[in-house]
Amino acid sequence: MGKQRQSIIGRHLAAIYPADKYLVWVVLGLAAFGIVAVYSAIGFLAETKSGGDTERFLFRHLGRVGIALLAMGVVSLIDYRRLARFAKAALILSLGLLVAVKVVGTMSGGARRWLEVAGFGFQPSDLAKVALVLYVAVLLTQKQEYIKDFGRAFVPILTWIMVTVMLIGVEDLSSAAMVLVAALTMCFVARANTFHLTSLALLGALLATMLLLASPNRAARLESYLGLKIFPNTTEEQVFDASDEGYQAEQARIAFAMGGLAGVGPGKSVQRDFLPAPYNDFIFAIIAEEYGIIGALILLSLFVVFLFRGLLRVARHAPDPLGLFVAVGLTSMLALYGFVHAGVAAGLLPVTGLPMPFVSYGGTSMLAGGVMVGILLNISRQLERPAVE
C-alpha cells in the first residue's frame, strides 16, 4: 500500500515538474538583467513623474516581473490542449478589443494602443498575439490532411492572420510584423504550400506599405534608417533632421560606443538622460553602455538558448502536432522580439519601439511573455520521459 501511494505521488510530481529547466533559467536570467538595467535607466521617468523617486518605479517593475513569473507558473500547470479549446473565443474577444482601442483607447507615445478598465491600462494586442498563435495552431492541426489545399486550408488561416495583423498594425506596425513572421513560421513547419506562404508574405508587405503611406511618422522613421526619401507623405526635415527621427538611433549608437568592450559600469549610464524611453524601447542600449559588448552578448546568448530549447527540445519532441505548432509560434515570436529590439538598439534595424521580453519595463507585455513561456513549459512537461517508479 505504501509503495502504491509513493508511486501515485511520484507520478503526480513528475506531471507538475518542469521538463525543461533551461527555459526557466533563461527567463530568470533575462528578468535579472532587466531589473538591474531598469533601475539604472528609470531616473528620467522618476524625475518627471514622481520627483526622483526611482524606488517607486523599481518596485512597480519588480511587481510586474513577479506577476509575470506567477502567471508563467500557473499557466504551466494547465494543459495546452485545454487552452487551445478557448483559442477562437479569445481571439474574437481580442479582435473586438482592438477595434475598441481605435474608438476609446488611450493615447501613449503618439499611438492609441491602450484600453483603461477600472484605472488599469492594458494593450489588447498582447492578448491577440497569444490567441492567434493558439488558434492558428488549432487550424493547422485540423487541416493537416489537406494543408496544401487553397480553399479548405489556406484561406481560413489567411483570414484570421491578416485580420489580426491589420488591426494590430494600424497602431503598431512593428508588432504586427512580428506576429506575421511567427504565423508564417508556423505555417512553414506545418508544410503549407510554399506559393501560398509567399503570397501571404507579399500581402503582408503590401499592407505594411499602405500603413506607412497612412502614417508620415512611420514612413519618416524607415526613410531615416535608409537615408533615402521614398514616400510622398514625408518631408526632408523629418527624414534628415538629426534632432527628429534619426535622433533615437544616433543616441543608441553613442551608448554602444561609450560602453566599449566592458562597459562604463552598473548605474553609470550617461545616455539614459538622452535616449527616449531608455527603460523600455532602448533598454538594450543601456545594457551595452553599462556592461559593454560582453554584457550585451551574454544577454543575447540567453535568447539564443531560449530559441534552441524552444525549437529543438520543446517543439521537436512535442507530444502532438498541436504542441509542435504552438511551441514554434511562441518561441519564434519571443525570440524575434528580443533580437529585433537588440538590432534596433545597435542601429542595424529601423526604430520600432518593441520591448525586449522580460527585460524592458512593461506591464501587459511582461504578463503576455509569462503566459507564453508558461504554455511552452506545459508542453515540455508532456515530453516523453522515463516513468517514475
- Per-residue pLDDT at 9: 45
Residue 383 near residue 80, CB atoms below 8 Å:
no
State the pTM of this model: 0.88
Do 203 and 269 have their domain in common?
Answer: no
- C-alpha 158/C-alpha 174 separation (Å) is 19
Domain count for the chain, please give it.
Answer: 2
Mean pLDDT value across residues 198-202? 90
Question: Do residues 56 and 100 both lie within one domain?
Answer: no
Same domain, 266 and 351: yes
Q: Give the whole-number percent of the chain exceeding pLDDT 70.
A: 84
Question: Could you tell me which residue, 247 or 347, shows the higher pLDDT?
Answer: 347
| Boundary (domain end) residue, out of 158, 181, 214 | 214
Tell me which of 207 and 105 has the higher pLDDT. 207
> 60 and 105: one domain?
no
In a domain, 245, yes or no: no
Number of helices followed by number of strands (H, E) in the chain:
16, 3
Is the pLDDT score of 218 beyond 50?
Answer: yes
Report, as an integer, the average pLDDT of 108-130.
Answer: 75
Domain that holds residue 150: 80-214
Q: Which of 179, 199, 214 is the last residue of a domain?
A: 214
368 shares a domain with 299: yes
Average pLDDT value for residue range 92-104: 87
Q: Clarify whether residues 87 and 159 are in a common domain.
A: yes
Task: Classify residue 358: in a domain, yes or no.
Answer: yes
* Percent of the chain whose predicted confidence (pLDDT) is above 90: 48
Return the closest-CA partner of residue 23 out of 382, 386, 370, 388. Answer: 370
- Indicate the range of 74-78, 126-130, 172-176, 356-360 predicted with least confidence: 172-176
Q: Distance between CA 113 and CA 361 in Å, rounded? A: 16
User: What is the structure's pLDDT at 14?
Assistant: 45
| One domain for residues 112 and 58 | no
Per the prediction, the chain carries an average pLDDT of 84
- Give CA–CA dist 254/272, Å, rounded: 11
The model's confidence at residue 13, banded by pLDDT at 50, 70 and 90, is very low
**Same domain as 203, residue 322:** no
Q: What is the pLDDT of residue 386?
A: 42
251 occurs within a structural domain? no
